[in-house]
Amino acid sequence: MVPAELAGFGGGAKFTPVHRGPVRPLAEGYAAAWALLLTSTLTAALVPGAAWLVHALLGLPLHVRIHPAPPPTIHGTVLVFATNIRATCWPLIPAALGASRFAPLRWLIHVVVAFSVVSNLLPVGTALGVYGPRLVPYLPQLPFELYAVSGGATCWWACCDRRLGWAQLVWIGCSIAAALAVAAPLESWGTPHR
pLDDT in tens, 39-75: 999 998 888 777 677 667 666 666 656 667 778 999 9
Q: Which of 67, 51, 69 is nearest to 59 (CA)?
A: 51
Contact status, residue 175 vs residue 30, Cβ threshold 8 Å: no
Vertex 81: Cα angle to 112 and 42 (nearest 5): 60
Q: Which of 70, 15, 52 is nearest to 6 (CA)?
A: 15
Q: pTM of the full predicted structure?
A: 0.81
CB atoms within 10 A of CB 36: 19
Q: What is the pLDDT of residues 104-152, one digit of tens each?
A: 999 999 999 999 999 999 889 988 988 888 889 989 999 999 999 999 9
Contact status, residue 53 vs residue 47, Cβ threshold 8 Å: yes
